Structure formats: structure tokens, C-alpha cells
Amino acid sequence: MSLVFAAIAPHGTLPEAPVPGAEKTHEALAALGRRFDAAAPEATIVMTPHNVHVEGHFAVVLAGTVAGSLAEFDAPEVMLSCPVDVELAAEAVVALHDDGLPVVGASFGPNDPSAATAPLDWGALIPLWFMGGRTEPQVPAVVVSPARDLSLSDHVRAGRALARAADASGKRVALIASADHGHAHDPDGPYGFDPAAAEYDDLIVRFVQEDSLDGVLGLDPAFVDAAVSGEGDLVFPELVRRVLSGERVSSLPGVRCRERVECDFATGSFGNAASVTDMGSLPYPDYSDYFEQFRTSRYDREWLPRLFLETSRGCWWGERMHCTFCGLNGSTMAYRSKPAARALAEVK
């Protein structure tokens, strides 16, 4: 058989874990669920940006089961466990490899894939909640992670490889691209407001409506002013100073910007910003503006604010034996920690 259903699905919210103003998103996901059921797929390939990350590689989950919850979104009761079509997952790995694309198969826990359960991230859980994850019987899934450091054209090639694997499987296969796009639509939201977000979303919608998704390949890099590759602590103050003074930032180590990104891709030169070696020398984080904005936002009525506390970076174990599924690379693997007194002082 071949692909019998395809969808681009958001992954921000569920009716069981609602946020204000998400009703239309829920209705759209429910409509996708009805179309999914009508197509009667026997397996689902779901591509999510929030599962395992492996530097320079696509990743395909080969565990027998994926399972997760929305506990980190204050909805621990929203849980989903879904069987994996391990045969189709293996065929996907072979198809990507045969097309010359870097790919790894990743499992979790037990050595026997049939006994392994890999984490199910929210990027896959939310679409599967509506499409195949709760049907009787469940539709087996294949979870695929993109490679953020590979080109858009490589991802197009990967899509063709996955379609070929679906054709060769002899099954009716659904494909779900789990993708939220512009995040900066609300000044009270977690990502703030940027007018480019609406412009970007409008372009993506037009590409879908016109069945011209190849237009994504021609998106103007101007949507991104600058980004830091690697740890940004050391270079960020100088980046801000230059932006405020109108100076060029392209010469800063690890900074990607419009004027050099095409050259970087052409040459394959992707140097990172310098990593922090002395964690105790980092400034104390100031969250006062976060709490001030939170108190004036609509989220203050329903959510409790949360803070992340960082006491170390890298991985003590990974320095000695790098786990296959780990997304840390050589430049950030070195284990570094804050002195105990400093970490305790941050908590207080």
C-alpha cells in the first residue's frame, strides 16, 4: 500500500489540558481525527521536534512501545501508551540510510526492543491523542525526530525516503508532521510578541492551501536576525551590546545571522560559541521581570509560575561512555557544576 493520510498537526494543547483561547485548535484536531479514522490506516509515522535529538542525524524510535504524559503541563492525568510498528520503523531507518541520510535507530531501557518503552513527548502525544493513539485497537506508531542541524533540502529527501518505506511496507500508512510554527503572537505568552510570527504563519498557511510546500525551501532567512549556536552565556552580553549600538554581529563566535548563514551551510563550518568552564562565575539569574509579566497575564489566574534551576551542565557518565540516544555532542559533554554553596544560594 502507501500513504493514505497526511496532516500537519499542532501540539500545544488538549481539551483535557486546556489553555485559554484554544477551542479552535481542539476543533481542528478533532476534525483531523475524523479524517484519520475514515482513512483507516494500519500504522502512523509521526514526526516530532521534541523527541530524541542526535547531533547531525535523523532518529527513529525502535522500542516496542512509546509512553508519556503531560505532567510537565500540569496535566499528569493525561497519559498515553502506544505500540510501535517496529518493522516499519526499521524499514524507515533503512530507507533513510539508503538515501545517504545520516540516521540512527534509538531505543530505551531493555536491550530487547520488544520489551523497551521509549518516552513519548508532547509533540507526538498530542496528535496521537486524536489520531490512532486511543482507538480500539490502537494504531501502531513510528516516532521520527528531525535533525535540526541538517538542511531543509535534507528533510525533503527524508520525506521521500519515508514515503518509499510506506509504499514498501504493504500497509496503509498515515503520516503526521507535528509542528507548531510562529510562537511569538502574544505579549503575555511565554515567547512574547514579534510581528514576524504572524507573517511567517501566513506564509506557511498559504503554502499548504496552494499545495506548494516546496515554498518552505525558499523562506527568507531574514525571519531570524541572529542565533547563538552552543552556550550563549559568554557571547550574549557582547551580542546585545553590538545590536544596541548598531554594530555587525557576524564576527562573533557561534553567532548565526543572515549575512553568513548561507556561507556556513555551503562550507559546513558551524563553530559554536565558547562553553562555560566555571559554572560558579555565572551571574545570578534575575527573574523579577518574569514574575511581573506573569502577574499581569491571563495565566496568573490558572497556573502557578515555575522556574528551572540549573546546577550543572554536560554529563559525568557521558564523558566516559556516550549513550546512543543522547543528543549531547562532544563540545557540550564535559561535566561542569556549580559549587554547592552557590547552588543553595540560588534556591534561597
Give me the DSSP letters along 29-75.
HHHHHHHHHHH--SEEEEE-TTS--BTTBEEEE-SSEEEEEEGGGTE
pLDDT band at residue 267 using 50, 70 and 90 as cut-offs: low
Kindly tell me if the per-residue pLDDT of 218 is higher than 80. Answer: no
Backbone dihedral region of 81: left (phi > 0), alpha (psi from -120 to 50 degrees) or beta?
Answer: beta
Mean local confidence (pLDDT), 175-204: 83
Kindly tell me if the per-residue pLDDT of 266 is higher than 80. Answer: no
Kindly tell me if the per-residue pLDDT of 300 is higher than 80. Answer: no
pLDDT band at residue 135 using 50, 70 and 90 as cut-offs: very high
Highest mean pLDDT among 10-19, 125-134, 262-271: 125-134
Average pLDDT across the chain, whole number: 88
Q: How many residues does the chain have?
A: 348
Burial class (CB in 10 A: 0-12, 13-18, 19+), 233: middle
